A and B are shown apart, each in its own frame.
Chain A
Amino acid sequence: MTAATLPSSSFPPTPRFWQNRTVRRFARHKLAVVGVAMITLLILACVFGPYLLPYDELYIDLRARFAPPLTGYHIFGTDPLGRDIAARLFNAGRISLLVGFFAMVLSTVIGTVIGVVAGYYGGRLGTVLMRFVDAFLAFPSIFLLLALAAFVKPSPFMITVIIAVTSWMEIARLVEAEVRSLRERDFVLAARMLGLPNAWIMFRELLPNAIGPIIVAATLTVARAILMEAYISFLGYGIQPPLPSWGNMLNGAQQYLDKAPWLAIVPGVAITLAVTSFNFIGDGLRDALDARSDLN
C-alpha cells in the first residue's frame, strides 16, 4: 500500500482494526451464519448440480410433460415442455444469482460514486446530484424496469444493467449522508490541507469510513436484485427462454397452479431461500458493523 507513506492514513481508524472484530461478531450472529451456509449450499448446488443430473435443462420431451416430482429421476418433476425442473432450477440459479450479484456490483458502484461526489462537494453540485437521485426515487421502480425493458433486447447482461440502473439510488443517498457527516472531520481537513487531490480524499479517505453501511446495503441489494429479476421475468420481459431463470420458470406457472402446483412452488422456494439468505447476511453485517450495539 502506497498509502502507508502518506500521513493521512493514520487519521482514520484502519479497516483491519474493525474487520477482525466484525468477523467475530458476525460469526456470533446465528442467522447470518445460517444465511452464509444456505447461500453456499445453493451456489454449490447450482454449480455442480447440473453435472449430477441425467437431464439437459433445454431438452424438450413432450411425452414427459407435467410429470409430478419424484417421477423417475425427475426429482422436482417436469415442466409443460417435459424439461426436467431440477436441471432447469440449478441452471436458472446460476443465471439468477449472477444477475443478482453483478446488478449489485454495478448499482453499488454507481450509487457510491454519485453519493461520494455529492456528499464531498456538497453545494450546488451535491444538490443537483441528490435531486437527480430523488427524481429517480420518485418513480415506481416497476415503471423504470418495464419502460427500460422495452428499449433493449433482454439478454442476461442487459437485465443486469436495467436492474442496476433502477436500484442505485438508495446506496447513493446512504453514501452521501455518510460522506457529508465525515466531510468536516479532522482527518479530511488535514488531508485537504496537505493538498491531496480530491479524488484521493474521496475514495481513499472518506470511502473506507463509509464502507460498513455500503456493504450492508450491497448485500440487501443482491436480495432485491434477485427479486426484481424474478418479477420482470415473471412478467415475460426478463431473461428469455429457453435460457432458464428462477423468474421465467415462474412465468406461466400461474396457469397451471391447479394442475401442476410444483411449477410454481419449486422456483418460488428457491427464490425465497436465496433472498432470505442474503437478507440474513445483511442483517448480520448490520449488527456486526454497528458500533452502538456494543453498548448493551
Chain B
Amino acid sequence: MSDHNKPLIKTTRRQALGLMALSASGVVFSGLPGFASAMAQQAKTIKGQLTVGFSQEPTVFNPHMPHIEVDEGVHFSVFDPLFYVDADGKFVAALAAEVPSVENGGISADGLTWKVTLRDDVKWHDGKPFTAEDVKFTLELLVDPDFRSWRKTGHEFVRDLTVVSPTEITWKMEKPFAPYPSILASTFITPKHILGAEADRNTAAYNNAPIGTGPFKWKERIAGDYILLEANAAYFADGPYVERLIYKYVPDLNVLYTQFKTGDIDVVGLQWITPDHYDEAKDLEGKVINIVPGSTIESFTFNMERPQFKEPAVREALYHAIDKQSIIEALYYGLPSPTESYVPQQSIYYNTDLPKHEYSIEKAKTLLDDAGWAEGADGIRAKDGVKLSFTCSTTAGNHIREQVQQYIQQSFKDIGVEMTISNLPPAVMWGDYWMLSQFDTVIVGLDFLTGPDPDTSDFFRSTSSPAKGGAGQNTWQFVNKDVDDLLAQGGSLFVPEERKAVYLKIQNVMRKELPFLPLFQYATVRGHKDGIEKVQPNINTRIDTWNVATWRWA
C-alpha cells in the first residue's frame, strides 16, 4: 500500500506540491472518463434477486434526517452522492462529472472556492432530469433551520451557492474545512422537484417513498419485515445487475445467521455473523466467508472527572491489568486485532510506532503502590479517602462484551480494584448517561473518524464535552492543551503529508494520557452465497451496500 494515494481532494497519485502547481497552471479537467461510466457503456444483464439481511430495521429513507447505519444501506441503493469513497479511500465521481480537486480547479488552493461539474445524463427515477438545482436544494436543505437535518457540520460553512448552468454549481466556504470532501461523499442528492414541493419536509410522504437517481427504485416496504427495491434499468453508472433487491430485517443475530445458513438470506449485512459462529461458518458449503476489519475501535472509557481516574498512573495500571490477548483470542475467537490507537490500522493516518500494551498484574500493582493507592481492610485500594471502586456500563444484550466485562472485573479484583457492572438498555445508555458523562467507565465501540478523514475535534477537543456545555462528544471530559492546538492545526491543513504529521502526534498523546484504554479494532465476519460477485468491504463507509449497484449473480 502506498502511503500517499488516499488523502483528500485528489484522485491521482501525486505529491501535494505537484498538486498545487497543477492547479496553478490552470489544468481543469483531466478528460478521463470515470471507471464507473466506462463500465456503463457495456451491455448489462439484469437478473435474479438478492436478499440482504440486516439485524436492525432501516426506517429513515430521507438520507438527510437522523438515521442509523442500516438506513444508509438503503440510501446507497436509491440515491447517489456527488462522489463517493471507494475501498482504497479514493474519491470516485458519481453525480459529479469528476471529483473536484485542487488539481483540476474544482477547489481553490485555499479551500475556499468550490466548483463542481455535474453529469448531464442523469435522470431521477420519475424520469425528470437531474440538474445543479437539485444539488443547490440539497445543500440548502441541510442547513434549513426548520428541517431536522442530521448533520450540519461542514454544510454550515457553505456560502453563495450559485447554479451556473444545469451542469455546474459553485460555492464559497466561509472558512477552510478539510473534512468537507469526506462529508460530501456521504451527502446524497435529493430531488428539488419533489421534496422541494413539500410543505413540511420533516413529515413529507416522500420520506417513506423516496425517489432518487440510484441503481434501485423504491418498490415497497413492509414495516418490521422487509424493503423491496427494483432495478433502475436507466441507471447512469455501472449496474444494477439484479432485478430485485430485498433488505430483510431480522432482529436477532442468531436467527440472521441461521437464515443465512438455510439460504433464506443471500448476503449477511450489518451486524454480520457473530464471532462465535465463525468457526462453523467458514466451513459452510456454498458460502463465502470473509473477515473484514471494521473502523470501530473498542475501548474501555474513563470519565476523567471522577476522582479515581484523575491520576495517569491509575489509568495506566488498569491498562496493564487487562488481559487483551485472552479477550481477543478466547472471547472474540482471535478475530479483532489489538490496537493502541483510535485510528483504524488501514488508514494512512494510523500511527504504527505507539508503545505496545503489556499485560502484567505485577506492573499494575507496582504502579498503584508507587502512586500511593494502598489496599484497605476490604481489599480495595484507596488514596486520600478515594476508593478505587467504580461502575462499568455497556449496552445490555451485547453478550460477548458482557463476558469481556466480567473477565476484566476479575482481573481488576486481583489488583485491588472494585468494578461493579451496571448495564443499561441502549436508549438509556447512549442518552444523557453517555452524553453528559454520568458514567464512571464504559466499554464502547466507537468510530472516531468520519469516513476517511482523521479529524477528531468533536471527540478530543477540551471544549467538546457536553457535560461542560460543549457541543461535541468528548464524554471522557478529556482536557489537553496540546491536543487542542494540534486539532486546530490539522483542521486547517490541506496538504496530506503535513496533516499526517499532526495526527500522528495526537495519537501519541492519547496513548500516553489514556483517557480510554484502546482494546482492539473490530473485525467482522461477513458472508454471502457463493456466486454473488462484487460484494466488497469498504472501511471508509459505514455500510456493506455502498457498491450494491454492481452486485450480481455469476
Contacts and interface: CB of A to CB of B under 8 A. Distances in A.
Contacts of B397: 235-236
B425 A81 contact: no
B391 to A, nearest CB: 8
Given A146-B425, A153-B422, A256-B276, A81 B399 contact: no
Given A240-B423, A255-B274, A257-B254, A60 B402 contact: no
Nearest to B253: A255
Contact of B422 (A150, A240, A257): A240
Interface string B274-285: 101000100000
A266 B276 CA distance: 21
A259 interface: yes
Contacts of A252: 399, 402-403
A237 interface: yes
Given A257-B254, A259-B276, A154 B422 contact: yes
A267 to B, nearest CB: 15
Contacts of B403: 80-81, 252
Contacts of B421: 240-242
A62 interface: yes
Contact of A237 (B280, B410, B425): B425
Helix, strand, loop or mixed for chain B's interface?
helix
Given A153-B422, A236-B423, A240-B422, A255 B399 contact: yes
Contacts of A237: 396, 425
Contacts of A257: 254
B331 A62 contact: yes
B167 interface: no
**How big is chain A's contact interface, by range?**
20 to 34
**How big is chain B's contact interface, by range?**
20 to 34
Most chain B CB inside 10 Å of its own CB: which residue of A60, A149, A251 = A60
B205 interface: no
B280 to A, nearest CB: 8
A142 to B, nearest CB: 13
Nearest to A257: B254
B276 A60 contact: no
A259 B278 CA distance: 12
Given A237-B425, A241-B402, A58 B410 contact: yes
B428 interface: yes
Contacts of A62: 326, 330-331, 407
A40 interface: no
A101 to B, nearest CB: 25
A153 B424 CA distance: 9
A29 interface: no
A224 B397 CA distance: 23
B390 to A, nearest CB: 14
Contacts of B524: none
Given A62-B331, A254-B254, A241 B406 contact: yes
B409 interface: yes
B425 A150 contact: yes
A81 B276 CA distance: 13
A25 interface: no
B333 to A, nearest CB: 11
Contacts of B422: 153-154, 240
B360 to A, nearest CB: 17
B405 interface: yes
B396 A236 contact: yes
Most chain B CB inside 10 Å of its own CB: which residue of A65, A146, A255 = A255
Contacts of A235: 396-397
Nearest to B398: A236
The 5 closest A-B pairs by CB, nearest first: A236-B396, A252-B399, A62-B330, A236-B397, A240-B421
20 contacts: A58-B410, A60-B406, A60-B410, A149-B425, A150-B424, A150-B427, A154-B422, A235-B396, A235-B397, A237-B396, A237-B425, A240-B422, A241-B402, A242-B410, A242-B421, A252-B399, A252-B402, A255-B254, A255-B274, A258-B280
Given A60-B407, A240-B421, A259-B280, 6 more contacts: A62-B331, A150-B425, A237-B396, A241-B421, A252-B403, A255-B399
